[in-house]
Amino acid sequence: MAKICLCLTAKTVKRNLEILDKYRKFTDIAELRVDCLAPDERLNIRRFPELAGIPVILTIRRDIDGGYYTGGEGARVNLMASGLAYASADSRFNFAYVDIEDDFDVPSLEEAARTFGTRIIRSYHNLQGVPENLSAKLKSMQRARDEIVKVSLSVKTTSDVLRVLKASRARLGQDKILLCMGHYGIYSRILSEKFGSFLTYCSALSESEVPGASGQLDVQELAELYRFRKITKKTKIYGVVGNPLTSTVSPWFFNTVFGLENTDAVYVPFPSDSIKGFYEIAKELDIQGLSITVPYKEDVLSGLVGSSPVVQSIGACNTLYRIPEGWYGENTDCTGFSDSLLNFLGKKNLKNKKITIVGAGGAAHAVVAEIFRLGGKALILNRTQIKARNVASRYKFKWGGLDGQGIEIMSKYNDIIIQTSSAGMEGYDDTDPLELYSFSGDEIVMDLIYTPPVTPFLKRAAEAGCLTINGYDMVIRQACLQYLCFMEKEIPQQLLSRVNSTGANKWSRIRTG
C-alpha cells in the first residue's frame, strides 16, 4: 500500500522533530530535507533516524532540481556521506532511504549505503514538464534491483498527468515514486495507490515557516479527510472536475460522509484544463461518479451517452454517473437551487415574484429553468449580452447587459436578485458584477458563490439591509442529490446532521492546490 511521507523542511533538527511528533500518527516515512536546514544544523543529521523513530529518507535537494542546496557538489557529497557514516548494525538507527539523483555518480557512497541496508531512491527531476517516453526513462534509471526510481515532474496540463499515469501502467511491478508537481497533478498525490506510486510526499501545511512544494497536500488532510491509508486498488473513485477549482466544499462533504458510513470510496478534486483530456483520465482510473463545476457544465455534454430530461431541457449538467454504456448526465443544481431559495423565502413557489438573474453561464441555466417552473418572472443580465438573450428567449424572459440600460430595467425586477456568475469567486476575481445597482434594502439577495462565504456583491447587499443567502445551503442540497445518483440511496438524515455538525466551516480550509 502507498505510504505517507512527511517532508520535514524546517530550519532546525529540533523543529523538524517537533513537527514529526505532532503528526506522527499520520506519517509512515519522514523525509529530512537537509537542504532546508540552516548550515550549522546540517552537522547534526547523523542521529536523526534514531531520534525520529520511524524510517527516514535523507535528501539534499539541489536548487536546480527545485531544492535549496546552493553549495558545490563536493560539499554535498561530503554532507550526504556524513549522514550515512558510522552505520549502526541496528538498521533503525540508519537512514532507511537516501535520495540520489539520476546524474549522481559516486559509487563508493552508494556502496556504503547498500552495505548497511539504506535503500537508494534514484530520482529524476524535471521542472519543465514530462519527458517523451517516460516509461523508457523509468526503466533505464534503475541501476540495481533494490532501487526505487522516483520521477518528479511539473505537469502543466491534464494530458501531462495522463502520460504519467500511462507510463506508470507500462511499468507495473517496478518500485517507483511518481510525483506530478503543480495544480493539475494534485489528485495523483491522493491516488498514489492507483497511480502505482510507492509513496506520496506531503507537508504539515498548518505549521509556520515550513515551505511546501507546489500542489502538496497537508498531512492531516490526506490521512483524515481523504483516508489515504484506506485507498486500495478496489476503492471506488469519485470527484469534482473544474478549472481552476481552487476551493470547493465537495471533497469535504463526500469524504466526511464516506468516512462516517465507512464506505470504501474516495472523492477527489480533479482540476483540469480540458474536459476531453479528463474523460481519458476518468477511463484510466475507472472513476464512478463526478460533480462538474465551472466552466465545464456545458462542455461536458459532448461525452455523455445519455442524460436526464432536465439536462436536455436546460443544456447544462453538473453530475455524471456510470451506466453500462458510458456516462449519464444529471443536473442537481436545479432542485438544489429551488429547494434552497424556497426554504429561505418560506414559500412553495415564485408566483408574482419579479427576479433579476446575474450571469448566463451553466449555473444560470439551472436557475432560470427553475424560476420559470415555479411561476416567477425574470430579467437576465450578463456581461456578454447575447448569452443573456439566448437564455432568456427560451422562457420569454427579459434580458440585458450589466450596464446602465440593464440596471434601469432592474427597477421592475428587484423583488429577488440572484447572482450566478463567477465574479467574486475565490480563484477568479473579487469584483462586484452589479456595482452600478444601488440596493434599496428591500430586495432578497442570493449569491450562488460560497467561497468566499461573502462576496463583495453580497456584502454590499447585506450592508444595505437586504436579506441575503450564499450558495452553501444550495451546494449541500445538490450534493445530497448527487450522492443519490452515485450510491443509489439517500444519505440518512442522522448522518447528514453529523456531517454538518463536524463543522460547516471546516470545508473552507480544504486546499485543492
Tell which one of 214, 393, 411, 431 touches ligand ATR (CB under 6 A). Answer: 431
Residue 305: what residue type? V
Residues 400-429 that bind ligand ATR (CB under 6 A): 402, 420-423, 429
- The nearest distance, CB 402 to ligand ATR, in angstroms, is 6
Q: Is 384 in the site for ligand ATR (CB under 6 A)?
A: yes
Q: Measured from the CB atom, is 338 or 422 closer to ligand ATR?
A: 422
Region of 102-110, 178-186, 292-300, 345-353 interacting with ligand ATR (CB under 6 A): 292-300
How many Å apart are CA 4 and CA 228, to the nearest integer?
A: 8
Tell which one of 203, 319, 382, 512 touches ligand ATR (CB under 6 A). Answer: 382
| Burial class of residue 3 (count of CB atoms within 10 Å of its CB; 0-12, 13-18, 19+) | middle
Helix, strand, coil: what percent of the chain each, to 5?
A: 40, 20, 40
- The nearest distance, CB 396 to ligand ATR, in angstroms, is 20
- The nearest distance, CB 461 to ligand ATR, in angstroms, is 16
How many Å apart are CA 239 and CA 320, to the nearest integer?
A: 10
Region of 98-106, 116-124, 289-297, 321-329 interacting with ligand ATR (CB under 6 A): 289-297
Q: Is 389 in the site for ligand ATR (CB under 6 A)?
A: no
Mask of contacts with ligand ATR, 143-162, x by CB under 6 A?
--------------------
Q: Is 435 in the site for ligand ATR (CB under 6 A)?
A: no
Region of 23-31, 338-346, 382-390, 487-495 interacting with ligand ATR (CB under 6 A): 382-390
Instruction: Give bridge partners of residue 56 from the DSSP assignment.
Output: 30
* φ, ψ of residue 193 in degrees (nearest 5): -60, -40
Active site residue 297: yes
Q: Report how far apart, in Å, the C-alpha atoms of 100 and of each of 61, 64, 73 are.
A: 9, 14, 12
- The nearest distance, CB 425 to ligand ATR, in angstroms, is 8
| HEC assignment per residue over 464-513 | CCCEEECCHHHHHHHHHHHHHHHHCCCCCHHHHHHHHHCCCCHHHHCCCC
**Contact between 257 and 289 (Cβ < 8 Å):** no
Residue of 143, 46, 155 whose CA lies nearest to 93:
46
Q: Measured from the CB atom, is 197 or 455 closer to ligand ATR?
A: 455
Which residue in the shown chain puts its C-beta closest to ligand ATR?
361
Region of 33-41, 149-157, 161-169, 353-361 interacting with ligand ATR (CB under 6 A): 353-361
Tell which one of 79, 282, 350, 363 touches ligand ATR (CB under 6 A). Answer: 363
Q: What is the DSSP string of 310-375?
A: HHHHH----EEEEETTEEEEE--HHHHHHHHHHHHHT-S--TT-EEEEE--SHHHHHHHHHHHHTT
- The nearest distance, CB 387 to ligand ATR, in angstroms, is 5
What sign does the dihedral 232-234-238-239 (CA atoms) show? Answer: positive
How many Å apart are CA 449 and CA 396, to the nearest integer?
A: 26
Residue of 461, 10, 439, 452 whose CA lies nearest to 207:
10
Tell me the Ramachandran region of residue 223: left when phi exceeds 0, alpha when psi lies from -120 to 50, beta otherwise: alpha
Among residues 297, 353, 377, 398, the one annotated as catalytic is 297
Q: Is 359 in the site for ligand ATR (CB under 6 A)?
A: yes
Tell which one of 79, 240, 360, 380 touches ligand ATR (CB under 6 A). Answer: 360
* Count of residues of this chain found to bind ligand ATR when the rule CB under 6 A is applied: 21
- The nearest distance, CB 388 to ligand ATR, in angstroms, is 8
Tell which one of 176, 297, 377, 398 touches ligand ATR (CB under 6 A). Answer: 297
- Residue labelled with grid coordinates 444550495: 474
Region of 273-281, 338-346, 376-384, 482-490 interacting with ligand ATR (CB under 6 A): 376-384
How many Å apart are CA 110 and CA 203, to the nearest integer?
A: 28
* φ, ψ of residue 12 in degrees (nearest 5): -125, 155
Region of 342-350, 360-368, 391-399, 463-471 interacting with ligand ATR (CB under 6 A): 360-368
- The nearest distance, CB 300 to ligand ATR, in angstroms, is 10
Residue ranges in contact with ligand ATR by CB under 6 A: 294-295, 297, 359-364, 382-384, 387, 402, 420-423, 429, 431, 433
Q: Which residues are catalytic?
A: 297
